[in-house]
Structure 1
């Protein structure tokens, strides 16, 4: 059961009026059109993490994290980590300020849930335990699970990578959800619970042989559409990673098939390229 976020929006609207110091966070330039299917893979590698994706209308961004000396640091590999690049500084603080400035939404006047996909690289239980503490410092920002109910917030946090499923499932209250695997029958469809697993993801090359060259085999097209249908019937969203991402015909062909099949999140490092494709 999902509780309406109308009361959340009202509260955030009051905050926005009181906290006028955040008014400069919302851009004065024309608002970009949000693209619900656009997912920024390894978003933190862009020049302006989060903000470059928002400027291109992305509705989902991905951040890899490591727990280092009690801090949640963002980076793809341990060698990339620096003390100032924390999950809070790159994502949580700017999202919170933006939502306050926009009266309850990441995109002004567009009250849909923005997805923050947090990929825990190592030490899943310890990293998630710290993450859970940190997220509670941002009231009304995140979608919440409360004793069997889901209260929608402006940002839905989904945990990928080293996911501590048992720990998350044991929580009566949490502000994060589980990224399931399409190939795991316990995660996909009726055998799962969208209140725990609203997103199912997988490596494209583990499920499909087609790489965008030539015709999409009919059997694989049927398989793709079946996966999406099963997930959607269970209230889940679908994402694939490791699809071709270099500009060209192969990428265009795969993106076209993903879009036609109703895949919810199209994965890319090329923000401008996917924005142009989805805006046609």
Structure 2
């Protein structure tokens, strides 16, 4: 099944991908290189949910993401050179990470694929503790300040910031020159640290997508994977 035909090699990020009617597979079909899942540990199970009050018993990290990724590998369905599973932890960091590691270790095919990364966002341990985690676990850094410990810094896969802290732009008219330069400087700063960069909370509009593509944003964030994929495919053919 295919929702999109997209040949563009831009990293599109499916924000809160589990809200899609077909989690993971829709994003994969649309050529996405990154999907995001909120995860909460309860009763020794990693539920995919934003909060405890929203838990649905049959929606957990294994059946929504790890099993599909394993199936993708076995069927040779990888559509991007890399795939990022961004796990936004909503429960306490250490016990949730311990459970996540134990669960992921049941999928050696995923661990062996060096082009597939599991990146921890949300509740995270102290940066100094990053080196204690397995090679297949990476972290989302939410600051434009680097980390002095080079080994810990190597565990950082990307930098993510909340766009709304920097701008009120609604994505429906062009940015002013001043705003454009301000936002571009943030992206450039992240790149100067040697990391990929993502804004979350960007306007989810065609003008926004095109603007951030032109700026060189590494991951374009969306709740509309089909719309973004189709739009970006058109841009690539101009």
TM-score strictly above 0.5: yes
8 A Cα contact 1:35 1:59, kept in partner: no
Quickly say closer, same or farther: Cα 1:83–1:254, change in 2 above 3 A.
Answer: same
2:88 to 104, 110, 119: 119
Q: TM-score, normalised by structure 2?
A: 0.86
Which residue of structure 1 aligns with residue 146 of structure 2?
186
Which residue of structure 2 aligns with residue 175 of structure 1?
136
Give the aligned CA root-mean-square deviation in angstroms.
2.8
Which residue of structure 2 aligns with residue 136 of structure 1?
105
| Deviation digits for residues 137-178 of structure 1 (CA, Å, limit 9, x no counterpart) | 2214147xxxxxxxx623111111111134742316331111
Return the structure number with greater relative CO, CA threshold 8 A, min gap 6: 2
- Structure 1 unpaired stretches of 5+: 1-26, 144-151, 246-250
1:106 to 74, 78, 82: 78
1:51: Cα distance to partner?
Answer: 0.9
Quickly say closer, same or farther: Cα 1:153–1:210, change in 2 above 3 A.
Answer: same
- Structure 2 unpaired stretches of 5+: none
Cα distance in structure 1, aligned partners of 2:58 and 2:25: 17
Quickly say closer, same or farther: Cα 1:268–1:101, change in 2 above 3 A.
Answer: same
Deviates most, 259-268 or 204-213? 204-213
Residue 204 in 1 paired to residue 158 in 2? no
Q: TM-score, normalised by structure 1?
A: 0.74
1:216 to 175, 191, 194: 175
Alignment of 1:74-93 (within 5 A): 74-93=48-67
Cα distance in structure 2, aligned partners of 1:172 and 1:227: 29
Quickly say closer, same or farther: Cα 1:35–1:53, change in 2 above 3 A.
Answer: farther
1:269 to 194, 219, 223: 223
Which residue of structure 2 aligns with residue 41 of structure 1?
15
Cα distance in structure 2, aligned partners of 1:169 and 1:142: 18
The count of residues paired between Structure 1 and Structure 2 equals 234
Q: Give the secondary structure class of the aligned counterpart of 2:130.
A: helix
Alignment of 1:24-63 (within 5 A): 33=7, 35-63=9-37
Question: Is the radius of gyration larger for structure 1 or structure 2?
Answer: 1
Alignment of 1:59-78 (within 5 A): 59-78=33-52
8 A Cα contact 2:128 2:152, kept in partner: no
Q: Give the secondary structure class of the aligned counterpart of 1:229.
A: helix
8 A Cα contact 2:159 2:196, kept in partner: yes
Quickly say closer, same or farther: Cα 1:32–1:96, change in 2 above 3 A.
Answer: farther
1:47: Cα distance to partner?
Answer: 1.1
